[in-house]
């Protein structure tokens, strides 16, 4: 059940990156082509910047799910030669839990930032409040935190089987 959920999270993240990159490339190409006719849509460039930001968080969720994210795991490297698998699994759980705490702090801070931006009542392109655009950050941090929780749960599943 957890593996299936992890698979769907992975697919969601993968297709999110693909969609964002495709849309970024398409909009950028349209913008470049329209410049030849001296036509400019002012909303394209800020939208592309936000799509880059969104693709980054989808990519972060993919990297987290595949254990390819940036990590400092000196203890894990020291224990690679150790024969005690149980110790390795518990160390992995501790490292993932510490990572989860850090990501949850970032998630909380990003929600606070989003609320502050709503109070400011500034508008972006298409008269979209900037708070909604900053909602990309809590969404991305939330997605990454879910991936970390799933990875922690998978360490318990591996032990059972």
Domain locations in the chain as residue ranges: 2-160
pLDDT-derived band at 160, boundaries 50, 70, 90: very low
Half-sphere exposure of 99 toward its Cβ, with a 13 Å CA cutoff? 25
Q: Which residues contact 147 (CB under 8 A, 6 or more apart)?
A: 6, 9, 13, 61, 64, 65
Beta carbons within 10 angstroms of residue 104's beta carbon: 16
Residue 65: pLDDT band with limits 50, 70, 90: confident
Query: Mapping DSSP to helix (H, G, I), strand (E, B) and coil, where does residue 63 land?
Result: helix
What digits encode the pLDDT tens for the residues 114-159? 999 999 888 888 889 999 999 999 999 999 999 999 999 998 885 5
User: pLDDT by residue (tens digit) across 79-102?
Assistant: 666 677 788 788 888 888 999 999
Q: Looking at residue 159, what is its pLDDT?
A: 52
| pLDDT above 70 for 30 | yes
pTM for this entry: 0.85
Alpha helix stretches (DSSP H) within 36-134: 44-65, 74-78, 85-120, 130-134
> pLDDT averaged over the chain?
89
Residue 111 CB partners (closer than 8 Å, separation 6+) = 138
């Amino acid at each position: 059940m957890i593996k299936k959920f992890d698979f769907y999270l992975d697919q969601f993240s993968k297709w999110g990156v693909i969609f964002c990159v495709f849309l970024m490339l398409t909009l950028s190409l349209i913008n470049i082509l329209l410049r030849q006719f001296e036509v400019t849509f002012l909303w394209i460039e800020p939208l592309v910047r936000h799509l880059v930001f969104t693709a980054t968080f989808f990519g972060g969720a993919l990297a987290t799910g595949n254990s390819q994210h940036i990590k400092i795991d000196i203890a894990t490297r020291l224990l690679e030669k150790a024969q005690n698998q149980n110790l390795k699994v518990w160390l992995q759980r501790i490292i993932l839990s510490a990572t989860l705490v850090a990501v949850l702090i970032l998630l909380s801070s990003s929600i606070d930032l989003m609320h502050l931006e709503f109070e400011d009542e500034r508008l972006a392109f298409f008269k979209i409040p900037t708070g909604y655009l900053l909602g990309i950050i809590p969404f991305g941090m939330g997605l990454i935190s879910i991936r970390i929780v799933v990875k922690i749960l998978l360490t318990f599943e591996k032990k059972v089987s």
